[in-house]
């Protein structure tokens, strides 16, 4: 029996055991920041949401946060890096760690229920299906553990000493990608090999299964997205993308959505593998997309969380964090959650509508008011300031008080004088020139700040590209 997320939940990496990446609910932009919570130096791991709680791992701890307020409910100290995303099933949080251990924690209290030491770091996210936890180790071993007790059910060894891809489970089969470009299909009950697909590339992407097809990204070789028959492993199509794909695909309504290392986000026909649209971001897209209704959410190396129209690729909304977003967004309970390398977990939701007042307003009684002279000046940073002058003559009351007439005359003279001065200033252009000068200074400062930001971003991209090239050279040496 496949593990499926409860309605409205995002209880594991890519939403469910098949890695569909598709939410059960519709959350559409515009969105506003609800809260953010500091969890440490940063996180690549993706949040899981279940029972009104957000679970996420970071350096040394697993955190449980209230999904509505972002307040800490509990945290469990592991003491080492946690690259894998937590998964939640039947009141238990499962997470793998660099300390070679799989932990099962009580979802309410964070207390450990069991832990299993494997002998190798765990960098990929486990999967839970049918009461079994499937774990892939960095040394190439695939474990099947009893979800309730942690006892081992079977183990399969893959010829690879680096494993970053997370397993997907569908139709009684576990699909696992190895770093060295091989995709394996294992019997979920026994661990026996059903088929193997070999390529010339590397696999960091995790497989997604939909409609009897397995979709997975490749890099540094057969770069792009590969679609394979889920039963036989036969290749159905390849869509080539320069620089490759480490993002994991999401499949919805006959479309495959995936990010790429060429800075583009792609939409492909799921049956034919043909191009539908793409969007150029400002950095690598290693984050895996989440589809909610007609919107696709994905993070990028350029610090942005994007929301695209799923049909057209039009940008509908984005939010800029302080660092890269490798974490994959989760959609649950009317909100979107994502982690960032800036050390925060973020929560976004559509703004709440303003409550409509149903009270009846009673108009105030009219009062007799003496008209007065009211100048209204509204300067703006345009070439023509807005000036509204209203002069209402002061009424002369009947009476024989000569002093009143003198005062009234003086006030009338002052009002006329003020109007004349203001007309002179605007007619001569003095105030207009001052406003234009101020506008020019503001625009100059904005241009200087923008140029500085662009230069800084360019230097950062150049540095990242150099680091990537050095990494590739080191891997070639290995």
Does one domain contain both 96 and 211? yes
Enter the pTM of the model.
0.74
pLDDT of 7 above 60: no
200 and 75 assigned to the same domain? yes
Task: Confirm whether 40 is domain-assigned.
Answer: yes
**Higher per-residue pLDDT: 367 or 80:** 80
Buried b (16+ CB within 10 A) or exposed e, 450-468: eeeeeeeeeeeeeeeeeee
Same domain, 162 and 309: yes
Instruction: Please tell me whether residues 338 and 421 are part of one structural domain.
Output: no
Picking from 387, 408, 428, the residue at the C-terminal end of a domain is 428
pLDDT in tens, 226-245: 999 999 999 999 999 999 99
pLDDT of residue 161: 79
List pLDDT tens digits, range 111-145: 999 999 998 999 999 999 999 999 999 999 999 99
For 146-161, b where at least 16 C-beta lie within 10 A, e where not — what string?
A: ebeebeebbebebebe
Contact 145, 133 (CB under 8 A): yes
Q: Which of 411, 428, 445 is the last residue of a domain?
A: 428
Residue 38 β-bridge partners: 344
Residues 135 and 61 reside in one and the same domain: yes
DSSP string, 32-90: EEEEEEE-SS---SPPEEETTEEEEE-SSEEEEEETTT--EEEEEE--S---SPPEEET
214 burial via Cβ count (<10 Å: 0-12, 13-18, 19+): buried
pLDDT digits (tens, 9 = 90+) for 236-284: 999 999 999 999 999 999 999 999 999 999 999 999 999 999 999 999 9
Identify the CA nearest to 248 among candidates 288, 218, 193, 221: 288
The Cα 285–Cα 266 span in angstroms is: 10
Report d(CA 15, CA 83) in Å as an integer. Answer: 17
Please check the confidence at residue 217 and state whether its pLDDT lies above 60. Answer: yes
* Residue 393 lies in domain: 374-428
- Would the pLDDT of 62 be above 80? yes
Q: Is position 450 within any domain? A: no
Q: Could you tell me if 384 and 340 lie in one domain?
A: no
Share of the chain above pLDDT 70, in %: 73
Q: Can you give the pLDDT at residue 402?
A: 46
DSSP summary character for residue 23: -
300 and 182 co-located in one domain: yes
The enclosing domain of 39 has a CATH number of: 2.130.10.10
d(CA 330, CA 347): 10
pLDDT over 60 at 35, yes or no = yes
pLDDT in tens, 285-332: 999 999 999 999 999 999 999 999 999 999 999 999 999 999 999 999
Do 400 and 256 sit in the same domain of this protein?
A: no
Please state, rounded to an integer, the average pLDDT across all residues of the chain: 82
Residue 400 scores a pLDDT above 60: no
Is there a domain that residue 239 lies in?
A: yes
Looking at the structure of the chain, the number of domains it has is 2
Do 314 and 380 sit in the same domain of this protein?
Answer: no
- The answer to whether residue 294 sits within a structural domain is yes
- Determine the average pLDDT of the residues in 328-350: 97
Q: Are residues 104 and 225 in the same domain?
A: yes
Asked, for residue 454, whether it belongs to a domain, the answer is no
| Pairwise pLDDT comparison (87 vs 468), residue with the higher score | 87
**What percentage of the chain has pLDDT greater than the value 90?**
66
Query: What was the pLDDT predicted at 473?
Result: 58
* Alpha carbon distance 309, 317 (integer Å): 9
Find the helix or strand (DSSP H, E) in which 224 lies.
strand 224-229
CB 39 within 8 A of CB 63: yes
| Domain co-membership, 149 together with 251 | yes
Confidence of residue 401 (pLDDT cuts 50, 70, 90): very low
Is the same domain home to 197 and 344?
yes
pLDDT reading at 70 higher than 90: yes
Q: Does 64 map to a domain?
A: yes
In a domain, 317, yes or no: yes
- Is residue 6 included in any domain, yes or no? no
Q: What's the token pair of residue 463? A: 């540095």
* HSE, side-chain direction, 13 A CA sphere, residue 203: 30
């Amino acid at each position: 029996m496949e593990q499926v997320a409860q309605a409205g939940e995002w209880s594991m990496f890519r939403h469910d055991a098949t890695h569909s990446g598709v939410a059960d609910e519709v959350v559409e932009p515009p969105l506003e920041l609800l809260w953010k919570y500091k969890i440490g130096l940063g996180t690549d791991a993706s949040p899981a949401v279940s029972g009104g709680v957000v679970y996420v791992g970071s350096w040394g701890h697993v955190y449980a946060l209230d999904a509505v307020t972002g307040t800490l409910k509990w945290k469990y100290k592991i003491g080492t890096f946690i690259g894998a995303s937590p998964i939640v099933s039947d009141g238990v949080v499962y997470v793998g760690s660099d300390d070679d251990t799989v932990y099962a924690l009580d979802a309410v209290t964070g207390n450990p229920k069991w832990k299993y030491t494997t002998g190798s770091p765990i960098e990929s996210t486990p999967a839970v299906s049918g009461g079994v936890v499937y774990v892939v180790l960095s040394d190439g071993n695939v474990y099947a553990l009893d979800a309730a007790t942690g006892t081992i059910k079977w183990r399969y060894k893959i010829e690879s000493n680096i494993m970053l891809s997370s397993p997907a489970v569908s139709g009684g089969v576990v699909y696992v990608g190895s770093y060295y470009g091989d995709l394996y299909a294992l019997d979920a009950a026994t661990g026996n090999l059903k088929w193997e697909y070999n390529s010339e590339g590397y696999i960091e992407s995790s497989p997604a299964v939909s409609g009897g097809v397995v979709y997975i990204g490749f890099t540094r070789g057969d770069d792009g997205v590969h679609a394979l028959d889920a039963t036989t492993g036969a290749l159905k199509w390849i869509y080539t993308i320069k620089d490759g794909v480490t993002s994991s695909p999401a499949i919805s309504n006959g479309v495959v959505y995936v990010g790429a290392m060429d800075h583009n986000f792609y939409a492909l026909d799921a049956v034919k593998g043909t191009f539908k649209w793409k969007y150029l971001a400002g950095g690598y897209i290693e984050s895996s997309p989440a589809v909610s209704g007609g919107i696709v959410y994905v993070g990028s190396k350029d610090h942005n969380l994007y929301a695209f129209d799923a049909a057209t690729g039009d940008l509908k909304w984005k939010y800029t964090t302080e660092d890269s977003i490798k974490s994959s967004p989760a959609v649950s309970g009317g909100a979107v959650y994502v982690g960032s390398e800036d050390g925060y977990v973020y929560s976004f939701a559509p703004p709440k509508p303003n409550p409509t007042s149903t009270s009846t307003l009673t108009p105030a009684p009219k009062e007799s008011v003496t008209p007065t002279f009211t100048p209204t000046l509204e300067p703006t940073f345009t070439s023509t300031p807005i000036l509204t002058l209203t002069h209402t003559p002061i009424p002369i009351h009947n009476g024989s008080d000569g002093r009143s007439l003198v005062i009234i005359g003086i006030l009338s003279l002052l009002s006329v004088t003020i109007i004349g001065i203001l007309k002179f200033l605007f007619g001569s252009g003095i105030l207009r020139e001052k406003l234009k000068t101020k506008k020019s200074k503001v625009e100059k400062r904005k241009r200087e700040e923008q140029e500085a930001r662009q230069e800084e971003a360019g230097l950062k991209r150049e540095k990242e590209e150099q680091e990537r090239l050095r990494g590739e050279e080191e891997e070639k040496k290995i």
